[in-house]
Amino acid sequence: MPVGTQGSVKGLSPRDLIEQLDVSLLLANTYHLYLRPGPELIQRLGGLHRFMGWPRALLTDSGGFQVFSLSGLRKVSEEGVLFRSHLDGDAHLFTPESTVDAQLAFGSDILMALDECLAYPVSHEAARESVGRTLAWARAAFRHYRERTRDQERPGALFPIVQGSVYADLRRSCAAAVAELEAEGYAIGGLSVGEPRSLSLEMVDVTIPLLPTERPRYVMGVGMPEELAQYVALGVDMMDCVLPSRNARNGCLFTRRGRLIIKQAQYKDDPRPIDEACPCYACRNFSRAYLRHLFQAGEMLYASLATLHNLRFYMDLMREIRQGILAGAFPACLEASRALAAAGERE
C-alpha cells in the first residue's frame, strides 16, 4: 500500500495512483487526520473517500505509532494515551473506543485497533507489560466496534495488532491471543523501529503461523524492495511503507540494477531514463539529466516524477510476486529479490 498520511500521497493525484499505478488500496493516518481537519468535518463532507477523491479501498491506522513517537508529549494509562498535539500543544486522549469511532467516521474499509508500539531496544518486562496493554485495548476496541456496527450491512473490517518487540515468546503469546478475536484480518506491528532487519524477519516468522491462514496478514511499515518477496515467503499478504515516496523526494530512485542517487554528478548529462526496463511516465519521457536538474533546482515536478517511478517499481514487484505465486514460479521472485539486495547502489 502506498502511504497517504494526510489523505494524500505526496506529489501524486488519485488519478495518477489509479491510471498510472493501478493502486487498489491506500493507507491514511488517523493521528494526523484526527488533528487536522478532524473526523467530524470529514464525516460531514461524505467520508474520507469522497473528501480525498479516492474511489478505491482505504486502510487507516489507529494513530498509535505516531502518538508513541511523541516521547515526552504523551502519558500512557490503561484507559488509553493522553498526548499533546505536535501542531498546537492541545491535549487529546486516544482510547480504543475513540480511535474506532474516528475511523468509522472516516468510512475506512480497514480499521486498526489501538496498540502500544515501543521503540527498540526495550526490556522484556517493559515489552510484556506493553503486550498486556495492547491486548486489553484490542478487546475493548472489538467490543465497541461490534456494538457500533451491529446494524451495519458492510462495516469496515477491524484488524488487531500483534506486538512484543523482538521477543519471540511475547510475539507468540500476543498472536495467539489476538487470533481469539476472530477478526477479518490481523496486523503485525512494532517492527522497523530501529531493530536489525534480520530480527524483523525473525519476528514475523515466529508470529505468522499463529494467525489464521484464511485471513489477510499485514506487516506494518516494511520494507525495502529486496525484502518484499522475503515477507511474502513467510506468509505475509499486505505491507505498507513510506520508503518509495520518501526516498524519491530525497533523491533515491529504485531500479532493477540497484539504487540510483540522482544528485550525483555522473547524471548531469546522462540521457538515459531512470530505468530502461520501466514503463512509467517518468521513464518514458524524461532523462536522468533532466530529473537531476529538477532535483538540484528544487522543482516540485521532480518529486512527482520520482514518486511516480518509485511507486511503479514497488507495485510492479508486488504484481510479479502475485503472478509468480499463481504460476508456481515464486522461487524466481525470491531469487530476483536476492539479486536486488546484491545490487545495492550499483547504479
**Helix boundaries (H) for the chain:** 14-15, 30-35, 39-44, 48-52, 64-68, 96-106, 124-148, 168-179, 197-207, 228-234, 243-249, 281-285, 288-297, 300-327, 330-343
Please choose, from the candidates 28, 32, 39, 26, the residue with its C-alpha nearest in 3D space to the C-alpha of residue 102: 39
Helix H or strand E encompassing 162 = strand 161-162
* 261 close to 345: Cβ distance less than 8 angstroms: yes
What is the distance, to the nearest Å, from the Cα of residue 255 to the centroid of all Cα atoms in its chain? Answer: 21
Please choose, from the candidates 192, 204, 189, 223, the residue with its C-alpha nearest in 3D space to the C-alpha of residue 341: 223
What are 51's three cell numbers?
473528501
Please choose, from the candidates 178, 176, 160, 136, the residue with its C-alpha nearest in 3D space to the C-alpha of residue 220: 160
240 catalytic per annotation: yes
Rounded to an integer, what distance in angstroms lies between the CA atom of residue 93 and that of residue 98?
8
61 catalytic per annotation: yes
What are 170's three cell numbers?
511475547
The active-site residue out of 61, 109, 115, 275 is: 61
Rounded to an integer, what distance in angstroms lies between the CA atom of residue 112 and that of residue 117?
13
Please enumerate in sequence order all residues whose Cβ is within 8 A of that of 159, keeping only pairs 6 or more positions apart, or say none.
110, 111, 112, 113, 183, 184, 185, 186, 187, 216, 218
Rounded to an integer, what distance in angstroms lies between the CA atom of residue 201 and that of residue 301?
36
The active-site residue out of 109, 115, 240, 275 is: 240
Catalytic residues: 61, 240
